[in-house]
């Protein structure tokens, strides 16, 4: 059967999508430079890329850069709720990308779209959550002979890749873009912090000042989220399983509690752990009337949704866009945002373009590096080459008009000598 050229909701939305993509582009100066360089040097000429990424205006801009470098690209969504239908239309109609993504698709369509991008016989896989790599290995292993490697964008995806590698199942060199300093420190922290609050606000219009916000997980994302919630005037409670992270949260002045206790007092509870069942039956049973539940971790497993459904005597869908209300037997109402999926992408637009500028510049440069060096690489989880991260940070500072000091020769000598 012939591979469909695209599957998007409405190509008539393309011009609205172009406006959105161009608006994002304004805040992505480093990626613009990468695109200009790629257009001149064409480092990706003839390379077929299959991508599983959130279909947003920011993603459109990295794909434009890769396309300028000569790549042919097929894109599926990395989450059923995060697709911007206008951006998807613009990618097809204006930017020459084969997109298979519509907002609000079900699990079967999600899987089908991943299978379809693999029909393009990719040389490279760009993944956000490891679903594409997973099905390529499990369902289309014959394609891996032609595949030279790929990139993984998020913490949960990198964890899954390490598990594959430990079991000898990983057949490709996969670069952990997530693990760079610029990604974790800025995207996971400030990006997730701001956009998660944005998602909660858009879905509820709730007042955060003076309310109690529970943040589960004090990793890169959780820390960013706690900082932003505190900045909004919320009383922030952190839950953790790692003693060091919990201590860090305590020393930053947050109240640290087990979820059993936090659940009883939280007005808004947000998970950002990458783990399952963080808010589960016993916690849900003790929530306050009106409590809001949201998740910003990669998969919709952090809030135990079957438990929530089992406790509900009535479910009121869409009391507001991206907010469902679950009524418990004693009349308490629990509000679940974005179906328990990534709230920042399901109920808002994901991270601001200015922060994706760094993550996606690193990723675009890593793609070019992979294309050049793949013959020397072995199947494993690899770090982004030293230098790309620092170079992107330097360009970002330049774009922001921020100058910094440089080491003097004496300082360099001093740092390089153990005799001094
Ligand atoms: P991280 O490893 O830095 O932090 C996760 C933290 O959760 C750790 O400190 C861990 O100890 C803690 N944790 C694990 N299980 C827990 C539990 N049961 N209760 C409380 N804490 C628990 O990871 P990260 O980079 O912060 O990413 C977290 C999740 O967010 C991942 O799924 C990642 O893929 C996802 N992510 C989402 C976005 C977004 O746009 N929403 C952006 C980046 C990452
Ligand atoms: N992940 C988080 N925010 C994103 C965005 N705006 N675009 C693509 N992926 C993202």
Rounded to whole angstroms, what are the CA distances from 92 to 46, 67, 145, 278?
19, 12, 28, 39
Q: Model pTM?
A: 0.97
Rounded CA-CA distance 250/323 in Å is 31
- Tell me how far the alpha carbon of residue 402 is from its chain's centroid: 27
The pLDDT, as a whole number, for residue 1 is 61
Tell me which residues have their CB closer than 6 angstroms to ligand 1: 154-156, 188, 192, 216-222, 239-242, 245, 272-275, 278, 296-298, 342, 344
- Binding site membership of 58 for ligand 2 (Cβ less than 6 Å): yes
Q: What is the pLDDT along the chain (420 residues), one digit of tens a residue?
A: 678 799 999 999 999 999 999 999 999 999 999 999 999 999 999 999 999 999 999 999 999 999 999 999 999 999 999 999 999 999 999 999 999 999 999 999 999 999 999 999 999 999 999 999 999 999 999 999 999 999 999 999 999 999 999 999 999 999 999 999 999 999 999 999 999 999 999 999 999 999 999 999 999 999 999 999 999 999 999 999 999 999 999 999 999 999 999 999 999 999 999 999 999 999 999 999 999 999 999 999 999 999 999 999 999 999 999 999 999 999 999 999 999 999 999 999 999 999 999 999 999 999 999 999 999 999 999 999 989 999 999 999 999 999 999 999 999 999 999 886
How far apart are the CA of 156 and the centre of ligand 1, in A? 8
How far apart are the CA of 341 and the centre of ligand 1, in A? 14
The pLDDT, as a whole number, for residue 222 is 98
The pLDDT, as a whole number, for residue 4 is 79
Q: Where are the alpha helices (DSSP H) in 205-326?
A: 220-231, 243-251, 259-265, 281-285, 305-311
Nearest CA to ligand 1 atom 20: 240
Contact 186, 397 (CB under 8 A): no
What are the phi and psi torsion angles at 114 (to 5°)?
-65, -45
Contact 116, 74 (CB under 8 A): yes
Rounded CA-CA distance 337/294 in Å is 5
Query: Token pair of 277, please?
Result: 């069942």
300, 151, 57, 50 alpha-carbon torsion, rounded to 10°: -90
How far apart are the CA of 57 and the centre of ligand 2, in A? 9
| Residue 205: partners with Cβ closer than 8 Å, 6 or more residues away | 320
Rounded CA-CA distance 356/158 in Å is 18
Rounded CA-CA distance 125/133 in Å is 7
The pLDDT, as a whole number, for residue 386 is 87
DSSP string, 245-279: HHHHHHHTT-EE--HHHHHHH-SEEEE-SS-S-SB
Contact 66, 50 (CB under 8 A): no
Give the nearest ligand 1 atom to 273 CA.
7
How far apart are the CA of 23 and the centre of ligand 1, in A? 30
Contact 391, 29 (CB under 8 A): no
Domains annotated for the chain, with CATH where assigned, are 6-183+350-399 (3.40.50.1480), 190-346 (3.40.50.720)
Closest CA to 364 of 130, 54, 128, 63: 63
Rounded CA-CA distance 213/60 in Å is 33
Closest CA to 143 of 166, 161, 120: 120
């Amino acid at each position: 059967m012939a591979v469909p050229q695209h599957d998007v909701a409405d190509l008539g939305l393309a011009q609205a999508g172009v406006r959105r993509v161009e608006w994002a582009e304004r805040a992505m100066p480093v990626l613009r430079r990468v695109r200009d360089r790629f257009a001149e040097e064409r480092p990706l000429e003839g390379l077929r890329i299959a991508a599983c990424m959130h279909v947003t205006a920011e993603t459109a801009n990295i794909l434009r850069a890769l396309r300028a470098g000569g790549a042919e690209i097929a894109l599926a969504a990395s989450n059923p709720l995060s697709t911007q239908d206008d951006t998807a239309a613009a990618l097809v109609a204006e930017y020459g990308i084969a997109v298979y993504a519509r907002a609000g698709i079900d699990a079967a369509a999600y899987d089908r779209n991943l299978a379809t991008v693999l029909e393009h016989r990719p040389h490279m896989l760009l993944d956000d959550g490891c679903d594409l790599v997973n099905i390529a290995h499990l369902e289309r292993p014959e394609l891996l002979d032609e595949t030279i490697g790929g990139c993984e964008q998020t913490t949960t995806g990198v964890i899954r890749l390490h598990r594959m590698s430990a079991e000898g199942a990983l057949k490709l060199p996969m670069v952990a873009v997530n693990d760079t300093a610029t990604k974790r420190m800025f995207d996971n922290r400030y990006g997730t912090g701001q956009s998660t609050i944005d998602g909660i606000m858009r879905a509820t219009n709730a007042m955060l000042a003076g309310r109690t916000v529970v943040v589960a997980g004090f990793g890169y994302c959780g820390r960013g989220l706690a900082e932003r919630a505190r900045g909004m005037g919320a009383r922030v409670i952190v839950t953790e399983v790692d003693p060091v992270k919990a201590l860090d949260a305590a020393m930053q002045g947050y109240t640290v509690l087990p979820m059993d206790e936090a659940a009883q007092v939280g007005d808004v509870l947000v998970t950002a752990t990458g783990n399952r069942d963080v808010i589960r039956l016993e916690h849900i049973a003790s929530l306050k009337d009106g409590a809001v539940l949201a998740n910003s971790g990669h998969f919709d497993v952090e809030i135990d949704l079957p438990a929530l459904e089992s406790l509900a005597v009535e479910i009121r869908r869409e009391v507001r866009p991206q907010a469902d209300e679950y009524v418990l037997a004693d009349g308490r109402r629990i509000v679940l945002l974005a179906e328990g999926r990534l709230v920042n992408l399901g109920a808002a637009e994901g991270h601001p373009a200015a922060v994706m500028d760094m993550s996606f510049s690193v990723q675009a440069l890593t793609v070019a590096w992979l294309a050049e060096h793949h013959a020397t690489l072995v199947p494993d989880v690899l770090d982004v080459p030293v230098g790309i991260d620092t170079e992107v940070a330097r360009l970002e500072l330049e774009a922001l008009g921020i100058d910094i000091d440089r080491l003097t020769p004496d300082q360099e000598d001093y740092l390089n000598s153990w005799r001094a």
